[in-house]
Amino acid sequence: MRIKPLFHFALSISLLATPAATYAGGLSGAYLSANHANSKNDYAAAAEYYSKALLQDPDDAFILQNALLTHVISGDMEVSVKLAQDIAELNIGSQLSDLVVIASLSKQQNFNQALDLLEKSKSRISTLLYGLMKGWILAGSGDLTATTAHFDTMRTPSALLLFGQYHKALATAMAGDFNQADIYMKGEGRDALHLNRGSLIAHVQILSQLSKFDEAAVILAKNLTSSVDQQLQDLHDKMVAKEVVPFDFIRSATDGLSESFLTLANVLSGEEDERFTLIYARIAEFLRKDNIQSLLLLSEMLKGQEQYDLATQVLAKVPANHPLYLNAEIGRSDTLLDAGKPEAAIAILQKLTNSHPQVARVHMVLGDVYTSEKEFRKASKAYTVALDLLEKDGKAQWFLYYARAVAFERMGDWDKAETDFRAALKLSPNQPSTLNYLGYSLVEKRIKLDEAQELIERAVQGRPNDGFITDSLGWLLYRVGKFEEAVAPMERAAELMPTDPVINDHLGDVYWKVGRQREARFQWSRAMSFDPEDKDATRIRRKLDVGLDEVLTAEEADIPNAN
């Protein structure tokens, strides 16, 4: 369920404006470096530089607040709490420092002080977050009646009502009244309060305590998708086996506060300013170290901002015994790959193949990484292990045959490649990727050209705006000598993929064959500007020097020597 924020609100800090007083005193190197790192979302570096700047001016409110923000997002909450307390002493009305101090007080079970500060900060905090925090702080004080009564005051707009009732259900379940919690989760006649993935888990745990296993299994079955979520799958299996699971989704008021911050983080996820999501997710983690959903959200956001080191550090916190450990480790390897560290990514996956040898997904992902690194022999072996594991359970997948076929083709083992391409098509006859790759390969080998045309035309029908597939059609027509017919699809391919070196090279060859030699040379020059592979670059240079006809004549003359 996607719910927009109740209204936009700003932290009491500026990320861009610089106080005039700072200019008057002269900007230090640390301050300039901190601002630069902050503008690049390099939170760890910014936090370090702001800390150095504070050594020169420890009471500068602007530096203090930016230091707090970057330390919070970096995950250094011990320093963040100290900074927040320093800011509070300045009485400047900082929302972020208030939230950090309230979280720290609650974590220390000082709920009365936390409530006092929350009431003083009410005007600076969103209505939704204020409402959820107050309810859980009241719960921490031991007054469940006041807690549920407060959540019931959250009525309008609809987001307040939904989340207020959801958190009331959680508080009721934490107190052990699972029957009433189930009633709340079902929304008293409205749609069940399945607002997010966490609410599903909470409701299933509640139903398990009531021995409503079939109902719980149905809820999970509706929400199990093709993507792998081992935690939901494990819960589903336990419900089918009628196994009681503990209600540990919320164990304390502090856990409830953590869930409140995660709620806000999810609500704001996808908004323009991603720092709100990062801040709330970090505070959620601070309040509950095993809030795995906050860790996964943090890693996703940090990776999106290309803060790969922070993202991998977050994922490394997921314990090995958690059902989402595999997701986290695979995510960590993917993040390392994006960071340009393929060896580290492969090392993580190889370790997983040892610890989880029977999980086909691990071997499949390892094969994908090897393919991305052009280590096709290793990729084919990894895909073979994955296929063997799946075939034992009768769960063979077309894309694994396709992926292994690509590896075999790039290795030069055409017989095995063709066998796998056809196995993939047998499982999924209309997959454009398989149709195109097999068809294009037949064209390049100049065999079974009638079948190749049929395959490629089917691929174009399935994916008409794919530049690579459209290129295959144009290239097929070129190969069979239909040069005039090849022009339109090849131009379309170049329009769809204007910076692809192969497509521009192919368009140049087609132009040459229809007598448009000046345009052909222009396309070959464009192809060279897009960093073609070495073998292709050598051939393109030769065409620019002597033209396509002489290159083809020389290549045909070399064929007998190759035999």
**Which residues, 6 or more positions from 247, have their beta carbon under 8 angstroms from its beta carbon?**
173, 174, 178, 202, 205, 206, 208, 209
Mean pLDDT score, 541-558: 91
Report the first-to-last Cα separation within the chain, whole angstroms. 63
Instruction: For 370-403, write each residue's pLDDT tens digit.
Output: 999 999 999 999 999 999 999 877 777 899 999 9
Q: If residue 355 lies in a helix (H) or strand (E), which one and from where to where?
A: helix 342-355
Q: What is the CATH number of domain 341-426?
A: 1.25.40.10
- Predicted pLDDT at 395: 73
CA dihedral 463, 464, 466, 472 (to 10 degrees): 100
Question: Is 102 in contact with 133 (CB distance < 8 Å)?
Answer: yes
Rounded to 5°, the CA angle 255-259-264 comes to: 150
Report the distance separating Cα 276 and Cα 272, nearest Å. Answer: 9
**What is the value of pTM for the model shown?**
0.82
Question: Is 184 in contact with 169 (CB distance < 8 Å)?
Answer: yes
Question: Is 25 in contact with 19 (CB distance < 8 Å)?
Answer: no
Choose between 192 and 347: higher pLDDT: 347
Mean pLDDT score, 196-202: 91
How is residue 121 annotated by DSSP?
T
Report the distance separating Cα 379 and Cα 363, nearest Å. Answer: 9
Residue 7: pLDDT above 60? Answer: no
Report the distance separating Cα 308 and Cα 317, nearest Å. Answer: 15
What the block records as the tokens of 43 is: 């939170």
Report the distance separating Cα 465 and Cα 493, nearest Å. Answer: 8
Choose between 561 and 429: higher pLDDT: 429
Instruction: For 23-58, write each residue's pLDDT tens digit.
Output: 333 447 888 898 899 999 999 999 999 999 998 888
- Predicted pLDDT at 559: 53
- Predicted pLDDT at 226: 60
* Chain centre distance of CA 463: 25
Overall fold of domain 1-176+253-288: 1.25.40
How is residue 241 annotated by DSSP?
T
- Predicted pLDDT at 189: 58
* From 222-226, 416-420, 450-454, the region with the lowest mean pLDDT: 222-226
**Which residues, 6 or more positions from 300, have their beta carbon under 8 angstroms from its beta carbon?**
311
Residue 519: pLDDT above 80? Answer: yes
Pick from 320, 307, 363, 239: nearest CA to 74: 307
- Predicted pLDDT at 490: 96
- Predicted pLDDT at 273: 77
Mean pLDDT score, 213-220: 94
Residue 250: pLDDT above 90? Answer: yes
Q: Where do we find the tokens 């911050």?
A: 261
Report the distance separating Cα 293 and Cα 287, nearest Å. Answer: 13
